Structure 1
Amino acid sequence: MARGGHGLARVAVVVRAGAAPLWWLGVLAAGVGVCVPGLTGRRIGVTAGAALFVVALAVVVYARRKRYAALARSAARAGKHDVLQDRAVTARNWRHGHRWWLLLAFLAAVGSAFAAPAAGGMLLAGCGAGLWLKAAWVGRLERDADVLLWVRVDWLGRNAGGAVGKAVKGYRSTGIAAGDAAPGGAPRKMAALV
C-alpha cells in the first residue's frame, strides 16, 4: 500500500463469513443424518442434535466478547491511505482459507450420523447461527459508537483467531457510510432511485 496504508477488512464481515457455509453444510449433514438409523436411533439423535445446536449457538455468540469490545473501544481512526476491502472479497478470502476445515467438518458431521443421526449436522448449523448472531452483536457495537470497525487484512492471515486473534493489535474505525456493508456485515441496501 502506498505511504504506509493498509488493507482493511470489516470485522463484522469476517465474523459473518463462516455463518452461511456452516449453516447450510449443517442443514445438509443433518438431512443426510436423518436418513441413517444410527446406533442411538433417530429420536435420540435429533434430541441430542437440538441440545448441541443450542449449546454451540450460545458458545459461539458469547466467546471472546470482551476482546471484541475492548478492541472496539480502542479503535483508531483509519488513515486516508488505508484501503477498504469489499465485503465480497473478505467473505471469499475467509471461505477460501477455511475450505478444507469446512469440508472436514461436513464429513465429520455426516459420519457422526452413524452414531447419532442428525446430531453432528445440527451442531454445525448451531455454529453458523451463532456466527450470524455474533455479527449482529458487532453491528450493535458499531451502531452504538456510530462507526464501522475494520481489521488489518495482513493480521487475519497469521493465525486461526480471526478478527480477535493474537496477531490483531487493534481495530481501525471509519464513518458509518464507508464500505459496501451495513453495520453487522450484511450487504448494504441500495437507496431507492427517485
Structure 2
Amino acid sequence: MARGDRRAQGLARVAVVVRSGAAPLWWLGVFAAGIGLLVPGITGRRIGVLAGAALFIIAGVVVTYWRRRRYVELARSAARAGKHDVLQDRAVSVRNWRRGHRWWLLLAFLAALGSAFAVPAAGGMLLAGCGAGLRLKAAWLGRRERDGEALLWVRVDWLGADGGRPAGKTVKAYRGTGIAAGDAAPGGARRRTAALV
C-alpha cells in the first residue's frame, strides 16, 4: 500500500496522460517536416533528411526510456483506489493535457519550421520522434498494467501541480484499479467496447 493521503481524490490514468502528447507531436512533426522539404536550407535536403532520421530515432529512444525507473517505483507503491475516488474520463485527461501544453506545442512547431531554413525536415522529424516515443512509453505502461492486472492512476491535483507530468516530483504514488475500470484500455487507448467499473 502506498503511503500518503487516502482521502477521495480525482484520478487520471497515467498511460492516458503519457499518450496525450503523442498524436499532436507526431502530426505537427510530420507537417513541419513536409513543409521543411520545400526549403533547400543551408545543408540541402538530403543531409537534412538523414540528420532528421537520426534525430527521430534518438528522440524516440530517449523519450521512451526517460524516467522509466521512476514509473516503476511509483507503480510498485500504488495503493488501491478508494470507492469514493473519481476516475477522470479519458477525453477529459487528454483535453486537459493538450490545453495545458498548447503554447509549448505551438512553439515547438514554429521552432521546427524555422530550423528547416538551416537543416530541412530535421526539426519536424525530431518532433515526430518525440511523439513516437510517447506512444511507445504508453504501450510499455499498458503491458505493465496487463501483466499486473491493474490500471495505474495519478491524483489530478498532483498532476496539475507538476505541469502535467505523471512521474514528476510532486507525484508521491499512484493508485490502482481493476483492469476494467474507466473508459480507457491498458496503455491509454480508447476501449473498443464499454467496460464495467
TM-score, scaled relative to structure 1: 0.96
1:77-156 alignment runs, 5 A limit: 77-156=80-159
Q: Which residue of 2 aligns with 1:76?
A: 79
> Is 2:56 aligned against 1:53?
yes
Post-superposition Cα deviations, 1:119-164, rounded to whole Å, max 9, x if no partner, equal: 0000000000000000000001101110000000001111236000
Q: Secondary structure at the match of 1:149?
A: strand
Name the SS of the counterpart of 2:161 in structure 1. coil
Which one of the candidate residues 5, 9, 25 is aligned to 1:6? 9
The correspondence of residues 23-38 of structure 1 with structure 2, limited to 5 A, is: 23-38=26-41
Quick one: distance in 1 between partners of 2:36 and 2:162?
32
- Ranges in structure 2 where 5+ consecutive residues have no aligned partner: 1-5
**1:157 pairs with 2:160:** yes
Tell me the residue number matched to 1:15: 18
Is the contact between residue 17 and residue 164 of structure 2 (CA under 8 Å) also seen in structure 1? Answer: no
Give the letter aligned to residue 147 of structure 1.
A
| CA-CA distance at 1:4 after TM superposition | 3.1
1:190, distance to aligned residue in structure 2 (A): 1.2
In the other structure, the counterpart of 1:185 is: 188
How far did 1:5 drift?
1.1
- Matches of 1:105 and 1:90 in 2, distance apart? 22
Measure the CA separation in 1 of the matches of 2:159 and 2:110. Answer: 26
Q: Tell me, in whole angstroms, the C-alpha distance in 2 between the residues paired with 1:106 and 1:116.
A: 15
The aligned residue for residue 3 of structure 2 is none
Q: Which amino acid aligns with 1:178?
A: A
Please name the residue that 1:176 is paired with. Answer: 179
- Percent identity between the two aligned chains: 78
Q: Which runs of 5+ in 1 are unaligned?
A: none
Question: What corresponds to 2:65 in structure 1?
Answer: 62
Match of 2:187, SS state, is coil
Task: Report SS of the residue matched to 1:4.
Answer: coil
Question: TM-score of the superposition, structure 2-length normalised?
Answer: 0.94
Q: Are the equivalent residues in 1 in contact too, given 2:32–2:112 (CA < 8 A)?
A: yes
| CA RMSD between the two structures | 1.1
Q: Distance in 2 between matches of 1:169 and 1:29?
A: 37
After superposition, give the CA deviation of every residue in 1:37-74 in whole Å (9 maximum; x if it has no partner).
00000000000000000000000001101010111111
Q: Give the 4+ runs in structure 1 shifted more than 6 A.
A: none
Distance in 2 between residues matched to 1:159 and 1:5, nearest whole Å? 20
Deviations 1:3-58 (A, max 9, x none): 93100000000000000000000000000000000000000000000000000000
DSSP-derived class of the 2:184 partner: coil
CA contact (8 A) 2:8 2:84 kept: yes
| 3-state secondary structure, aligned to 1:9 | strand
CA distance in 1, matches of 2:160, 2:45: 40
